Amino acid sequence: MPTTARSGIKKARRAELTSPPVRRAVSFYVGLVQRYGEPGAGAAGFSECATNYSQGKAAMWYDATSAAGILESPKTSTVVGKSGYARAPVVYTPTSGWLYTWSLGIPVTSPHKEAAWRFVSWATSRGYIQLVGQKLGWADLPPGSRLSTYANPRYKQAAKAFAAPTLQAIETADPQHPTVKPVPYVGVQFLDIPEFQDLGTRVSQQMSAAIVGQEPVHSALSTSQKYAQTIGNGYRR
């Protein structure tokens, strides 16, 4: 993804997807998936990976903490109680510091802002959490949405394998210092610019092409660099 580098007081937006650390990381990842990943890994998203793991067809899955409830719910998984949960591996930092969320927003163009706000308020309330637990199962509660969830005895019991590690990961993430080197933005992984989603899709497609062997890693990163730098150049003007 595009990174922002410091140069004295001047801040120049400069993509670094062809830098040695990125090349090493992507080469390691692509090689790992090619040797040990599931068949069709280049096209496997969250749903495909969740199905493989929850049906006992995979030994390890690296993804978001939101996946844990799927794996520990008897309705969706055959491996309930058989998994351990650990933080992502790191090289230079104490933790990966990953922190992301799905957020609820109300467009300024909405003709029903008040009704939308009432829905958002309800969907993020303690009452909603209680309703989900009672109707769907306590392991299925949306993780990370409310601190009080982690004090709920029923949730702590149903999610005992992953609740504590999830809360610890959230509390130790540092959005103010998200990278090895200093950067002048706040946030982990996500850049709050309109182009970010499309850029992520384009870069992901390049990584998938490398995984399936359609192009080498250096070529995929070179193309990704051009995408990112084009956006970065726009913000330098």
The one-digit pLDDT tens for each residue of the chain (237 residues) are: 333 333 332 455 688 999 999 999 999 999 999 999 998 999 899 999 999 999 999 999 999 888 898 999 888 899 999 999 988 888 888 888 788 777 888 999 999 999 999 999 999 999 999 999 999 899 889 888 899 999 999 999 999 999 998 999 888 888 888 888 887 778 787 777 899 999 999 999 999 999 999 999 999 999 999 999 999 888 876
- Comparing CA positions, the residue from 200, 164, 158, 175 lying closest to residue 65 is 164
Classify each residue of 160-175 as buried b or exposed e, where b means 16 or more C-beta atoms within 10 Å of its C-beta: ebbbeebbebbeebee
How many residues are recorded in the chain?
A: 237
Give tens-digit pLDDT for 150-181: 999 999 999 999 999 899 988 888 888 888 88
Q: What is the pLDDT of residue 237?
A: 65
Alpha helices, DSSP H, located in 38-174: 46-54, 68-71, 113-123, 126-135, 153-158, 163-172
State the greatest distance between any 2 C-alpha atoms of the chain, in Å, as a whole number: 56
Give the rounded distance of the alpha carbon of 132 from its chain centre: 23
- Comparing CA positions, the residue from 179, 1, 200 lying closest to residue 97 is 179
SS (H, E, C) 56-88: CCCCCCCCCHHHHHHHCCCCCCCCCCCCCCCCC
Kindly report the pTM of this predicted structure: 0.80
Residue 60: CB atoms within 10 A of its CB come to 9
Q: What is the pLDDT of residue 227?
A: 96
Residue 62: CB atoms within 10 A of its CB come to 11
Q: What is the pLDDT of residue 174?
A: 87
Q: Helices 113-123 & 126-135, crossing angle to 10 degrees?
A: 60
In the predicted model, what is the mean pLDDT of the chain? 88
Q: What is the pLDDT of residue 87?
A: 86
Q: What is the pLDDT of residue 6?
A: 37
CA dihedral (45, 207, 65, 84) positive or negative:
positive
DSSP 42: G
Identify whether the C-beta of residue 72 lies closer than 8 Å to the C-beta of residue 80.
yes
Q: What is the pLDDT of residue 204?
A: 95
Query: What domains can you pick out in the chain, each with its CATH number?
Result: 1-98+180-237 (3.40.190.10), 100-172 (no CATH)
Look up residue 125 and give its two tokens.
């309330």
> Which residue bears the tokens 């930092």?
93
